Amino acid sequence: MAEISEARETATNTSHGETVTDFDPKTMRKTKPGLKRLILILSVLFSFFLGAPFLLKSIEIYRSPLPFREIDMLLNHLESKPLSLPCRFQVVFLGFYGHNSDESRADELGLLIRERMRKLTGNDPVCGGCGNNYPVSVMVDSSLDCIPNRNDAGCLWRCGNGDVSGFLESLRDDEAFDELLESLLQRDGGCSDSSGKVYTVVVVNRDKETRVVVGKHRHAWIVGKVSEMDAVSITADIFVKFFMNGGKKEGLVRAEFMPVGADGRVVLSFSLLNADPHDWIYDWDFQEIDETMLAPVIEALAPVADTSVESQVLYHTPKSSFSYWDEKLASYIFSTKDLPFFVNSNEWHLDTSIAAGGRSKILQFVIYIPSAKECPLLLQLPNGEISTTNGFISPMWGGVVVWNSPNCLKDQESGNHTIRTISTQDLEKVFEVFIGQLRQLFGLNSDNLKVAGSGISNFLASQSGFTEWELDVLSRHHTCFNLLSCATTLGSLSRLVQSLPRMIIMDEIGKQVKFSLKAASLAQENASLGIYDASAVSSRQSRVLAEDAFFHPSIMSVSYYSFEHCFAIYTPFFLPVTLHIILAALKEWRRYKKEQAKYLAWKAKAEPQS
């Protein structure tokens, strides 16, 4: 049988010998290769790539669009061109007669005053100042004629008001004359805010000793036997030193040290400290003082800061410094060298305000009542004299006034520990010192007359503690400081956001930034129009909004991470599986191409034979 099978196989191989000899199973195949495995692997790989956008979307950080271009424009504009608010100056000459009373003489006086002012201010504009392009109007008003110069404002001083010189004999009271001038200057004052506040100096020529008085409004007057050139010099000094610079010898008020919080608020915290209640206990009627003396101050500072008041009475509050007994003065003395150690932070629990944890600025004003062991307690100045106020200030912190019991020894010997109330008269004197300290903390002089020099005869004080021209200075410089602070904060936020692409930017932050820019633009517009109060309020709002945006709680989130960090987190999960699928797809693709080539080779071989 084996032979028969072999014979048949041989016959079969002989009949089909040619076909069997030409077919190579290693390089050819008769059937077409299938696509199921390749399609399956590619579908799995495609599902991974299809899910990648969903993965990226799931880890996407929401970022509200911020106006980076507008922020850069604001910052560059304020840095390249310091903000200046328009001011107008007016000089009225009364009682000057003669052939020089013509328009050319008025123009000459205006040019001389302006030239003198430019020498005092310099050519470099200062942020928050009046700039260099301020008009100076001159009016020569006499009973015979009324001659203005070409820069006359034409709306504040009316011709014929020169008759006021006839009233000077009876108006020996500076307060009364100040109000009279205010009524005359504001009679047609509809344009006082059209292009900046108007500051006026009235020069009255009389055969008497010269007196120079600066009023509590926006004017001053020179009365006496004075020449035109002397009047030009004095007038320019008043304009620059007081109406432009606020009375500071070193120049402009440094707004960056104004005690106003980042939220635009100031808390005036008044504390009455009884050092040793075993000796005596004093209380105060703070509500009356608040209504009569502090309410006008808060109202006056409203454009600059949102001011609030609080009070407290503390006991067992000794000071940290030492004092010594002076036989000549019959008092205990502490010197200015002891001031850094006077405030006892361990025993004086002053920071009890609800605003202590926020961004509001708290100014502490302390009435310190010493114990019987060191009463009376007096402050000795470096020149050896005793301080008239018996108080001192600490910059950016507040002020302290030492109030001695009227009868130190008598109270000590009596041993009477009943609660007593500080008299209204004594309390008013103390709070007058506090208002002076508040003026110093805001960069002004506590008493202008003491530092003005011999040229000024009198300064009129306002009930609010701040004259109108001082409030103008604070508003101008505070507007500048707020806008610079706003632009700097927004610039820092812009750089921070652009440097961290994964930072969360909520819609609220975007709105705060946009509103801050809008308020800054409004402040600049009001400043260009000379509306001081409105520009100060708008600039304060712009700074507050910028600070709120920068310190938004969502910005402090811990979910900020770079894309590299995100890649490192998700790579261990997806890379191994994805890599194996890609390798399998490549392997299957090569296998399919190889098998397809075998099939095409057999097909090409079989077609000629058929």
Burial class (CB in 10 A: 0-12, 13-18, 19+), 569: exposed
The residue behind tokens 């021209």 is: 469
Q: What is the pLDDT of residue 403?
A: 92
User: Which of 62-71, 72-81, 143-152, 284-293 shows the lowest mean pLDDT across its residues?
Assistant: 143-152
| Three-state DSSP class for residue 47 | helix
* Mean pLDDT score, 598-604: 83
Q: What is the pLDDT of residue 482?
A: 92
Identify the residue with better confidence: 196 or 203: 203
* Mean pLDDT score, 131-149: 74
Q: Does the pLDDT at position 36 exceed 80?
A: yes
Q: Does the pLDDT at position 434 exceed 90?
A: yes
Q: What is the pLDDT of residue 17?
A: 45
- Residue 317 C-alpha from the chain's centroid: 35
Helix axes 103-121, 228-238, angle to 10 degrees: 40
Residue positions counted in the chain? 610
Helix axes 36-58, 563-609, angle to 10 degrees: 160
Q: Which residues contact 207 (CB under 8 A, 6 or more apart)?
A: 225
Q: Does the pLDDT at position 606 exceed 90?
A: no
What percentage of the chain exceeds 90 in pLDDT?
A: 26
Instruction: Please list the alpha-helical segments (H only) found in 174-308.
Output: 174-185, 228-238, 286-289, 295-300
Q: Does the pLDDT at position 64 exceed 90?
A: no
Q: What is the pLDDT of residue 7?
A: 42
Q: Does the pLDDT at position 6 exceed 70?
A: no
Identify the residue with better confidence: 455 or 286: 286
Identify the residue with better confidence: 360 or 284: 284
Angle at the Cα of 605 (from 602 to 606), degrees rounded to 5? 85
210-269 residue pLDDT tens: 889 999 998 898 888 888 888 899 999 999 989 988 887 655 445 455 788 888 889 999
Q: What is the pLDDT of residue 475?
A: 92
Instruction: Please list the alpha-helical segments (H only) found in 158-281.
Output: 174-185, 228-238
| DSSP per-residue string spanning 517-560 | HHHHHHHHHHHHHT-HHHHHHHHHHHHHHHHHHHT-GGGG-S--
Q: What is the pLDDT of residue 558?
A: 52
Average pLDDT, the chain: 81
Cα–Cα distance between 166 and 163 in angstroms, integer?
6
Tokens of 545: 């909004």
Q: What is the pLDDT of residue 465?
A: 87
Q: What is the pLDDT of residue 13?
A: 45
375-418 residue pLDDT tens: 889 999 988 889 999 999 988 889 999 999 887 765 555 555 67
476 contacts 532 by C-beta, under 8 angstroms? yes
257-274 residue pLDDT tens: 578 888 888 999 999 999
Q: What is the pLDDT of residue 255?
A: 47
Domain boundaries, the chain: 21-58+563-609, 87-244, 259-442
pLDDT band at 10 (very low <50, low <70, confident <90, very high): very low
Tokens of 182: 């205010």
174-201 residue pLDDT tens: 888 888 888 877 755 544 555 668 899 9
Comparing CA positions, the residue from 179, 204, 226 lying closest to residue 91 is 204
3-state secondary structure 72-103: HHHHHHHHHCCCECCEEEEEEEECCCCCCCCH
110 contacts 134 by C-beta, under 8 angstroms? no
